[in-house]
Amino acid sequence: MNKPLEDWDNAYIENLDVTEKSTLELKGSDSLNNPGSSIGDVVSAFANFDGGHIIIGAKDTQASTTIVPDGNLTLTREKQGLKEWLEIKIHRLSDPPVRNFDVKVFSLTGGNLAVIEIKRSDYAPHQDIERKLFYGRNGSLCYPLSTTQIKDILQRQKTPILEIRELQINKGFTREKGEHFVLFFMIENVGRVVCRTHFLNIRMPLKIGSKPVIIDDEQPSFTGPVSEYVDENSQDAAHVVELSGGMIYPGQKVRKALRTPQFQKNRS
């Protein structure tokens, strides 16, 4: 599996293995003359399963083990920047439209390349809008999904998908709490199903430097029920903090915080 597209640079793409696989597709610049016909099935297949990268502007050659630009990819198309043009086109290649994707353009010595990263979709199955088929991927080939496979994908929608967003750690000092840290984050429901209850298990170090970490008895009210214990039996001893909460709707973000003073308060 290749790195996320945000971590790609010229050096990475110049040393990328040219072999097509279940998560990598190479296309020449002329594929953009009719993207629905040339990459619609790939977009569908990647979105329906584990995602992947489509590299546009690569030369079809057996003489190299790395990617060679074909030199024909321009940075503008139909009076738009290539990146913006591709973002519009990709969104229209499947039904329902693929939402979770990214596009990045590279200018190399031999020419330009555009890389499209299609991520696994919570809105699958996606149908190729031109062929009216749902696709999967087997090695470097796309294939139409069977009815059973489509039903299996639909079963994913019964489970909510939660992600942690906007993680921040702030340091503070008050007379009551002394020196302390507050961990702020959001829980977002990025799936299509309502999450009726949620539960987080967080491991915290016993010390920061030479100072002991103590979980505060008084947590922010919006955090929800909090319980804490010290796990001394595992290889890495730690505070274990358990946060529980209620309903999160699709697309909703719920703010959480955890206050962790560094100094033991007088608990009588």
Scanning the chain, the segments in alpha helix (DSSP H) are 10-14, 35-48, 82-91, 147-155
In which band, very low, low, confident or very high, does the pLDDT at 136 lie, cut at 50, 70 and 90?
A: very high
Together in a domain, 129 and 209: no
Together in a domain, 97 and 18: yes
In a domain, 90, yes or no: yes
The pLDDT value given to residue 239 = 86
Together in a domain, 31 and 153: yes
pLDDT of residue 135 exceeding 90: yes
Domain carrying residue 96: 5-157
Mean pLDDT of the chain: 88
Together in a domain, 85 and 193: no
pLDDT of residue 41 exceeding 60: yes
* Residue that terminates a domain, selected from 157, 178, 209: 157
- The percentage of residues in the chain with a pLDDT greater than 90, rounded to a whole number, is 53
Together in a domain, 133 and 78: yes
Q: Could you tell me the pTM of the whole model?
A: 0.62
Q: Is 85 helix (H, G, I), strand (E, B) or coil?
A: helix
The pLDDT value given to residue 213 = 82
Together in a domain, 70 and 142: yes
Together in a domain, 137 and 166: no
The pLDDT value given to residue 98 = 94
Together in a domain, 174 and 153: no
Any idea which residue has 């796309």 for tokens? Answer: 142
Together in a domain, 135 and 168: no
In which band, very low, low, confident or very high, does the pLDDT at 141 lie, cut at 50, 70 and 90?
A: very high
In a domain, 39, yes or no: yes
Chain segment 164-183, per-residue pLDDT in tens: 988 888 887 777 666 778 88
Which residues, at least 6 apart from 123, have a Cβ–Cβ distance to it below 8 Å? 96, 98, 99, 192
Q: 104 near 114, Cβ under 8 Å?
A: yes
Together in a domain, 167 and 136: no
In a domain, 267, yes or no: no
What's CA 106's distance to the chain center, in Å?
A: 21
* Residue that terminates a domain, selected from 102, 126, 157: 157
- What distances in angstroms separate CA 157 from CA 120, 125, 162, 195, one per listed residue? 13, 10, 13, 12
Q: 190 near 162, Cβ under 8 Å?
A: yes
The CATH code of the domain that includes 197 is 2.60.40
* Residue that terminates a domain, selected from 157, 172, 195: 157
Together in a domain, 122 and 244: no
Together in a domain, 141 and 181: no
Task: Tell me what the mean pLDDT of segment 193-202 comes to.
Answer: 89
**Total domain count, the chain:** 2
- What residues form DSSP beta bridges with 94? 128
DSSP for residue 159: S
Chain segment 47-81, per-residue pLDDT in tens: 999 999 999 999 876 767 889 999 999 999 999 99
**CA–CA separation, 118 and 128 (whole Å):** 14
The pLDDT value given to residue 268 = 38
Amino acid letter, 90? I
The CATH code of the domain that includes 82 is 3.30.950.30
The per-residue b/e assignment along 89-111, b for 16 or more CB within 10 angstroms, e otherwise, is: bbeebbeebbeebbbbbbeeeeb
In a domain, 268, yes or no: no
